[in-house]
Amino acid sequence: MPGIDKLPLEETLEDSPQTRSLLGVFEEDTAATSSYFSQLFKAMQRIYDAQNELSAATHLTSRLLKDYEKQRFPLGGDDEVMSSTLQQFAKVIDELSSCHAVLSTQLADAMMFPITQFQERDLREIVILKEVFQISSDDHDTAVNRYSRLSKRKENEKVKSEVMEDVYTSRKKQHETIMHYFASLNMLQYKKKIALLEPLLGYMQAQISFFKLGSENLTQQWEEFLTNIGTSVQKNILKKL
């Protein structure tokens, strides 16, 4: 429905069928948004979990290599070349696992946090406001109903005035809740765009930092290390084969 981007707050008092129909469109859009975000949230949660697992598994591998020299191998106790080589591997793999851990933290802060906030705060607020609005509408209907039955019979002035007071306050309450509900639905149309873009920007920035960290600090030193390993392996280990 192009062109419509706001529920008219000024028409909330009137509560016309047109306004109600427009509200239906906004509610439908909110449901579609909620469903789409739920899928995106799950996908991002999978990325985040996998990144954490990768970081943990990389760290574990590094620790196992570090522990090589503590293993009780009855043979090869004199194998210093192997031990020092594995220590070096342990060191660079540990550095890599640190890069992964930084990436995990950045994803938590810049991707998971905003999308979780949107899910748990903004979308949840709409659900609650809808309920509150429904309750106040029901209260108002009850009061109006009571008033309409009242007018056909003879009642004392005290009851009449009480019922009218009730219609007035429930109408006022309903008007307040619908204003709040409309305002939140209008706001959601903008918030959802930010809520889509913010975690994506956070994700991309985290990836860029990760690649920069990896390529600037690590790969050159890794390549030197691998060249040394290559030479050392050829000299000390492979020649025995």
* Interacting residue with a copy of itself among 75, 151, 156, 158 (CB under 8 A): 75
Q: Is residue 3 near a copy of itself by the rule CB under 8 A?
A: yes
Q: Is residue 121 near a copy of itself by the rule CB under 8 A?
A: no
Binding to a copy of itself (CB under 8 A) within 193-232 occurs at 193-194, 196-197, 200-201, 203-205, 207-208, 211-212, 214-215, 218-219, 222-223, 225-226, 229-230
Question: If you write DSSP's letter for every residue of 8-35 in order, what string do you get?
Answer: -GGGTTT--HHHHHHHHHHHHHHHHHHH
Least CB distance to a copy of itself at residue 205 (A): 7
Q: Is residue 189 near a copy of itself by the rule CB under 8 A?
A: yes
Least CB distance to a copy of itself at residue 120 (A): 19
Q: Is residue 84 near a copy of itself by the rule CB under 8 A?
A: no
Helix extents (H) in 12-122: 17-66, 80-107, 113-117
Please state, in angstroms and rounded to a whole number, the distance separating the CA atoms of residues 74 and 162: 95
- In this complex, which beta carbon is closest to a copy of itself, that of residue 17 or of residue 74? 74
CA 113, 119, 122, 128 dihedral sign is negative
* Interacting residue with a copy of itself among 13, 86, 179, 183 (CB under 8 A): 86
The four Cα atoms 11, 17, 19, 20 give a dihedral, to 10 degrees, of 130
Please state, in angstroms and rounded to a whole number, the distance separating the CA atoms of residues 165 and 159: 10
Going from the C-alpha of 234 to that of each of 25, 122, 230, 241, the distances in angstroms are: 72, 61, 6, 10
**Region binding a copy of itself by CB under 8 A among candidate stretches 10-18, 92-100, 118-126, 134-142:** 92-100
Least CB distance to a copy of itself at residue 77 (A): 5
